[in-house]
């Protein structure tokens, strides 16, 4: 009575293991194909990246670099990390926090060397960054 | 139920935990600088505010110095800056800034709008001095004694706890040396 | 004075939680019922003190007490009353306090509703809940005190609540989510108690089922609401972003869904018990992980830990103790409490097992996609992000396979079903639904693979579910409330799938620059930009544009999207205008202002997007219906039996 049950259980576990390893294999494959590398302008310029591969590019929007194109919804701007700069082309609505001199992240691909087409622009309001402990310290010092 | 099977979840968790633990202790802020108790490396640079004047390691002699590495592109430094503004009036040590891999115009604009807590600022445009100091990222803070020897390094922003527990006692001890 | 009292309340609650944890355990250890009976009253009193502290913090917000740092950071005197209350859980400290409050609500609810459960089980469960309270109370008191004061130099006004959180969705979203997360602590406590006692019978599964169902319903509601909020407030019309913050709530949801189903097998057949216990532990662990991932700031940067090491260290150690401890207990004890029960293929239990496998794999893919970038970043192997393509590619096939078994599962019978009949029936329903979708394509001339797969799967689930219901009524079989719940929830899944498939495939959008008087056209709708005007809100000023939405020259609606500027935090927010009906949403969001009242505007038409949330609501009701099934309520008789 025990034995068939045992054997069945073993088969079940083996089947499970096969399923899981196939699943893990597929997942890892998908992961390899679909990650977005995060690069800085310097990396983009100094280490040539393959064209037409989805990338995330982060940097500062250079002051005075934003140009709106004739269609009204396309913009071009320069992203810089103060060593190297990349010209970014984007068609669409810019996020509310997009500003010159602001740190932003774009997602897109290189269509030619020096021509980055962004599909998405994200701005993080990190200028609001102010650790609380520090703020307290300031207030204490101001009080004395 | 197989005995070993029941151990699998625990093993996976332990593996993850060890990885995370190691990873977080790899945190650059925990890495000791190999320069501690060594002399400040020789350098010669322009002052940020008066490019015609130079600054080098001899300017560190005779004072206890807090050397703060910052840059305008470093978001964390923006928060830390106001702390230095406040502390510069509180401490007897000389506070020297090192503007790391930065654009001078931005830096000047920054100092104008936010105030300048520093006695003097090293303009390290190409990051060479920072490299010699083993700077990982900004902000970083060094304490340098009267013999221009590096005695302490802090990676990451200054917090009240660190100031009270580590920097302030160290500075007053070094002042007495 | 008040804030200090609030803090004192937390300290007293901590001591009571310690008592709640150790006195009943001592009673269990000594087999002394008097100490065990102590568990309930302590739990009630502990909850009272927590509730008091929470009320104090809420009061501080309502009366604008900016001497409290947390209030000053997250509120403002111009903030509407409504949002001032919601601001209590607007940031880290308050949300941890909310967590504790919710934990004490669940604890009290369990204490109150557990009269029919044997005393030693109740004592153990309450003791474990008490231990969790201790962990969180220590955390809040040691590292995240919300009552911290700035005296005597208190600011005149506060920094205001993050404008993104100033929305009705966000007032209810965190409490619902937490009711879900924390609710799994009861199932978790049951599992640990069973492991400690070395007794794991069908009754155990029966006791924890309603609690799990209830928590799961709340979590489902929280996720649905979160999706709706993201759609409305984050602006850009997406309803799910596979963002780590969303994933943090989705991971426990998937494993809890698996848990629900395996609990049924454990209750009805006494099988899969080891697996069920493991799922209970994993679900709660993922809830903890989710809370901390979102609240600790690790997602923004792993180095958030470096900024506030005390908090990070505590979190890591707490997670290590809770998860590591329970898994160790599991490894040691599980063999003693589980007996072999064989499962045959083509039985309901085998289908539920398959469902569990798929759900677990789905959960694992989300966990992997969420944690992988974090791990790489921690080891400084590079910064990457895992985007929606990964999740869509991996997740969608799993869901489709799952759907296949969702249809068959309810039709199968316990122990063994007629294999032939089941397969024949399944293929009939499947081909019918595929055929229906294909006919639809011929009628509409817009073939799309994803829609074919998604809609067929959804129809298949609907048909199979409704047909099962029909058959049962024909055979005059009684349908329990829990079963009604199942039907409802499964239909909800199908309806949400319809929404997902149609919105993803047929949505249409356009970014355009419009001057006053300009028109644009998207998917047969004409948008006419009339003009803009300034509007003043309580804590913001706003540019409001007026659009006329027309179809076939007929005016359908006047839409007024806004761009709001919150003056305190200096943040601009896009407030979209949406025209809603059952079959489509028309969505206008203002982009960037140009010269002469011109705006860049994003226009969307999103067919069937409401169905996603409507499906979510059905799932919630299904869960609630099942949770309150009378048959799951333990009768007093059981107690007498087990005590005898």
pLDDT tens digits for range B53-78: 888 888 888 888 999 988 876 666 77
pLDDT digits (tens, 9 = 90+) for C85-138: 999 998 888 999 999 999 999 999 999 998 888 999 999 999 999 999 999 999
Three-state SS string over C275-328 comes to HHHHHHHHHHHHHHHHHHHHHHCCCCCCCHHHHCHHHHHHHHHHHHHHHHHHHH
Instruction: Spell out the residues 6+ positions from residue B176 whose beta carbon is closer than 8 angstroms to its own.
Output: none
Q: pLDDT higher for C228 or B161?
A: C228
Average pLDDT value over all residues in chain A: 74
Q: Using alpha carbons, select from C174, C87, C91, C185 the residue that is nearest to residue C136.
A: C185
pLDDT score recorded for residue C579: 93
The token pair that represents A3 in the structure block: 């034995």
Distance CA C639, CA C644 (A): 9
Asked if B78's CB is within 8 angstroms of A127's CB, the reply is yes
**A82 in contact with B at a CB cutoff of 8 Å?**
yes
Residue C448 has pLDDT above 70, yes or no: yes
Asked if C274's CB is within 8 angstroms of B3's CB, the reply is no
pLDDT score recorded for residue C643: 38
In chain C, residues with a C-beta closer than 8 Å to the C-beta of B159 are 307
Helix (H, G, I), strand (E, B) or coil at C241: coil
CB atoms within 10 A of CB C330: 22
Q: CA torsion sign, C350 to C356 to C358 to C361?
A: negative
In chain A, residues with a C-beta closer than 8 Å to the C-beta of C236 are 93
pLDDT score recorded for residue C50: 97
Residue A134 has pLDDT above 70, yes or no: no
Contact C25, C123 (CB under 8 A): yes
Q: What average pLDDT score do residues A40-59 get? A: 81
Element (H, E) at C642: helix C636-643
Rg of chain A over Cα atoms, rounded to whole angstroms, equals 25
Query: Parallel, antiparallel, or unpaired: how do β-strands B65-70 and B94-100 relate?
Result: parallel
Residue B27 has pLDDT above 60, yes or no: no
What is the band of C47 on the pLDDT scale with cuts at 50, 70, 90?
very high
Distance CA C59, CA C81 (A): 11
pLDDT digits (tens, 9 = 90+) for C102-111: 999 999 999 9
Residue B89 has pLDDT above 60, yes or no: yes
The token pair that represents B130 in the structure block: 């920072």
CA separation, residue C567 to residues C45, C159, C396 (Å): 43, 10, 43
Min Cα separation B38/chain A (Å): 30
What is the band of C359 on the pLDDT scale with cuts at 50, 70, 90?
very high
**Neighbors of chain C with 3 or more C-beta pairs under 8 Å:** A, B
pLDDT digits (tens, 9 = 90+) for C366-410: 998 888 887 777 776 666 778 788 888 888 888 998 998 888 888
Pick from B9, B79, B126, B162 the residue to mutate for testing the A interface (most A CBs within 10 Å): B79
Contact B157, B79 (CB under 8 A): yes
Distance of CA C311 to the CA centre of its chain: 24
In chain C, residues with a C-beta closer than 8 Å to the C-beta of B14 are 324
Asked if A127's CB is within 8 angstroms of B83's CB, the reply is no
Q: What average pLDDT score do residues C311-332 get? A: 89
Angle between helices C481-506 and C388-408 (to 10 degrees): 140
Q: Which of residues 86-145 of C touch A (CB under 8 A)?
A: none
Q: Among B1, B23, B156, select the one facing C338 at the smallest CB separation.
A: B1
Asked if B21's CB is within 8 angstroms of C306's CB, the reply is no
Q: pLDDT higher for C536 or B5?
A: C536
Residue in chain B lying closest to A101 (CA): B73
> Residue C197 burial by CB count (10 A; 0-12/13-18/19+): exposed, middle or buried?
middle
Q: pLDDT higher for C520 or C417?
A: C520
Beta-bridged to residue C513, according to DSSP, are C600
pLDDT score recorded for residue C208: 92
Asked if C379's CB is within 8 angstroms of B10's CB, the reply is no
Min Cα separation A138/chain C (Å): 11
**ipTM of this model?**
0.77
CA separation, residue C521 to residues B12, B111, C444, C602 (Å): 54, 50, 21, 11
Beta-bridged to residue B100, according to DSSP, are B124
**Neighbors of chain A with 3 or more C-beta pairs under 8 Å:** B, C
pLDDT over 90, % of chain C: 47
Asked if B75's CB is within 8 angstroms of A129's CB, the reply is yes
Residue A137 has pLDDT above 50, yes or no: no
Helix, strand, coil content of chain B in percent (nearest 5): 40, 20, 35
Asked if C330's CB is within 8 angstroms of B3's CB, the reply is no
Contact B64, B175 (CB under 8 A): yes
pLDDT digits (tens, 9 = 90+) for C559-571: 999 988 887 776 7
**B99 in contact with A at a CB cutoff of 8 Å?**
no
Q: pLDDT higher for B32 or B6?
A: B6
Q: pLDDT higher for C254 or A81?
A: C254
Global pTM value = 0.82
Q: Which of residues 54-73 of B touch A (CB under 8 A)?
A: 73
Lowest-pLDDT range, A96-100, B61-65, C593-597, C636-640?
C636-640
pLDDT digits (tens, 9 = 90+) for C8-41: 999 999 999 999 999 999 999 998 888 999 999 9
> Residue C267 burial by CB count (10 A; 0-12/13-18/19+): exposed, middle or buried?
buried
| Beta-carbon contacts below 8 Å between A and C | 110
Q: What average pLDDT score do residues C56-63 get? A: 95
pLDDT over 70, % of chain C: 93
pLDDT digits (tens, 9 = 90+) for C152-188: 666 777 777 877 778 887 788 889 999 999 999 999 9
pLDDT score recorded for residue B150: 87
In chain C, residues with a C-beta closer than 8 Å to the C-beta of B75 are none
Asked if C316's CB is within 8 angstroms of B24's CB, the reply is yes
The region that residue C642 occupies, defined by phi over 0 for left and psi between -120 and 50 for alpha, beta otherwise, is alpha
Min Cα separation C601/chain A (Å): 7
Min Cα separation B86/chain A (Å): 6
pLDDT digits (tens, 9 = 90+) for C233-250: 776 678 888 888 889 999
Please name the residue that has the structure tokens 């644009």: C520
Pick from A4, A5, A15, A36 the residue to mutate for testing the C interface (most C CBs within 10 Å): A36
């Amino acid at each position: 009575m025990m034995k068939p049950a045992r054997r069945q259980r073993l088969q079940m576990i083996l089947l499970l293991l096969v399923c899981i390893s196939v699943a893990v294999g597929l997942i890892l494959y998908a992961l390899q194909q679909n990650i977005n590398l995060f690069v800085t302008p310097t990396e983009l310029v100094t280490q040539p990246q393959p064209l037409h591969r989805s990338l995330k590019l982060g940097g500062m929007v250079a002051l005075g670099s934003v140009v709106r194109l004739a269609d009204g919804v396309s913009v071009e701007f320069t992203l810089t990390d103060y060593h190297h700069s990349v010209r970014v082309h984007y068609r669409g609505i810019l996020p509310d926090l997009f500003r010159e001199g602001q740190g932003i992240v774009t997602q897109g691909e290189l269509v030619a060397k020096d021509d980055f087409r962004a599909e998405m622009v994200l701005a993080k309001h990190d200028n609001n960054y102010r650790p609380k402990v520090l703020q307290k310290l300031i207030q204490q010092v101001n009080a004395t | 139920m197989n005995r070993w099977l029941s151990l699998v979840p625990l093993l996976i968790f332990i593996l993850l935990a060890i990885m995370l633990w190691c990873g977080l202790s790899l945190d650059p802020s925990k890495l000791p600088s190999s320069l501690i108790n060594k002399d400040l490396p020789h350098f010669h640079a322009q002052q940020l505010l008066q490019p015609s004047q130079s600054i080098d390691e001899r300017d560190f002699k005779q004072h206890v110095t807090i050397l703060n590495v910052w840059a305008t592109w470093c978001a964390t430094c923006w928060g830390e800056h106001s702390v230095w503004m406040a502390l510069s009036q509180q401490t007897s040590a000389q506070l020297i800034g090192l503007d790391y891999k930065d654009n001078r115009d931005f830096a000047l604009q920054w100092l104008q709008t936010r105030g300048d807590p520093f006695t003097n600022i090293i303009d390290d445009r190409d990051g060479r001095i920072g490299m010699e100091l083993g700077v990982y990222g900004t902000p970083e803070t060094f304490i340098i004694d009267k013999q221009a020897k590096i005695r302490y390094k802090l990676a990451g922003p200054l917090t009240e706890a660190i100031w009270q527990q580590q920097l302030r006692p160290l500075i007053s001890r070094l002042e007495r040396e | 004075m008040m804030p200090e009292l609030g803090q004192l309340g937390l300290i007293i609650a901590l001591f009571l939680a310690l008592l709640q944890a150790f006195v009943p355990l001592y009673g269990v250890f000594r087999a002394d019922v008097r100490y065990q009976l102590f568990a309930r009253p302590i739990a009630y009193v502990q909850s009272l003190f927590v509730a008091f502290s929470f009320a104090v913090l809420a009061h501080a917000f309502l009366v604008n007490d900016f001497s409290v740092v947390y209030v000053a950071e997250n509120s403002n005197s111009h903030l509407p009353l409504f949002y001032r209350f919601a601001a209590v859980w607007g940031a880290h400290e308050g949300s941890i306090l909310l967590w504790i409050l919710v934990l004490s609500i669940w604890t009290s609810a369990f204490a109150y509703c557990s009269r029919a459960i044997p005393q030693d089980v109740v004592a153990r469960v309450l003791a474990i809940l008490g231990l969790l309270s201790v962990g969180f109370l220590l955390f809040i008191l040691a590292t995240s005190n919300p009552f911290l004061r700035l005296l005597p130099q208190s600011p005149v006004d506060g920094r205001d609540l993050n404008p993104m959180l100033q929305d009705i969705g966000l007032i209810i979203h965190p409490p619902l989510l937490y009711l879900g997360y924390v609710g799994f602590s009861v199932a978790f406590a049951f599992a640990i108690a069973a492991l400690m006692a070395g007794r794991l019978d069908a009754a155990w599964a029966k006791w924890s089922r309603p609690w799990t169902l209830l928590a799961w319903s709340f979590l489902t509601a929280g996720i649905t609401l979160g999706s709706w909020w993201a759609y409305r407030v984050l602006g850009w019309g997406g309803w799910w972003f596979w963002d780590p913050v969303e994933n943090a709530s989705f991971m426990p949801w998937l494993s809890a869904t698996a848990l629900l189903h395996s609990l049924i097998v454990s209750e009805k057949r006494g099988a899969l018990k080891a697996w069920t216990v493991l799922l209970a532990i994993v679900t709660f662990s993922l809830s903890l992980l989710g809370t901390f991932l979102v609240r600790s700031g690790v997602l923004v940067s792993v180095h958030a830990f470096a900024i506030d090491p005390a908090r990070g260290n505590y979190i890591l150690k707490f997670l290590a103790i809770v998860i590591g401890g329970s898994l160790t207990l599991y490894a040691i004890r599980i063999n003693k409490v589980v007996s072999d029960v064989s499962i045959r293929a083509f039985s309901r239990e085998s289908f539920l097992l398959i469902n569990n496998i798929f759900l677990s794999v789905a959960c694992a893919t989300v966990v992997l996609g969420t944690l992988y970038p974090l791990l790489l970043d921690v080891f400084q192997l590079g910064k990457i992000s895992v985007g929606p393509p990964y999740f869509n590619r991996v997740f969608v096939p799993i869901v489709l396979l799952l759907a296949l078994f969702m249809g068959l599962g309810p039709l199968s019978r316990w122990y063994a079903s007629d294999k032939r009949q089941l397969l024949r029936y399944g293929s009939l329903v499947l081909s019918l639904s595929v055929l229906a979708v294909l006919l639809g394509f011929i009628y509409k001339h817009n073939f799309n693979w994803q829609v074919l797969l998604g809609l067929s799967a959804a129809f298949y689930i609907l048909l199979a579910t409704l047909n099962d219901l029909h058959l049962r009524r024909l055979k005059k079989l009684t349908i329990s409330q829990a079963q009604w719940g199942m039907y409802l929830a499964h239909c909800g899944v199908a309806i949400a799938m319809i929404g997902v498939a149609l919105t993803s495939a047929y949505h249409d959008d356009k970014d355009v620059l419009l001057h006053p008087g300009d028109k644009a056209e998207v998917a047969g709708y004409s948008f006419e930009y009339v003009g803009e005007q300034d509007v003043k809100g309580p804590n913001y000023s706003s540019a409001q544009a007026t659009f006329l939405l027309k179809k076939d020259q007929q005016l359908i609606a006047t839409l007024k999207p806004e761009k709001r500027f919150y003056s305190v935090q200096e943040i601009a927010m896009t407030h979209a205008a949406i025209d809603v009906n059952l079959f489509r949403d028309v969505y206008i969001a203002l982009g960037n202002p140009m010269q002469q009242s011109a705006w860049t505007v994003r226009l969307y038409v999103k067919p069937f997007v409401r169905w996603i949330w409507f499906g979510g609501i059905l799932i919630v009701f299904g869960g609630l219906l099942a949770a309150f099934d009378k048959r799951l309520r333990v009768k007093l008789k059981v107690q007498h039996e087990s005590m005898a």
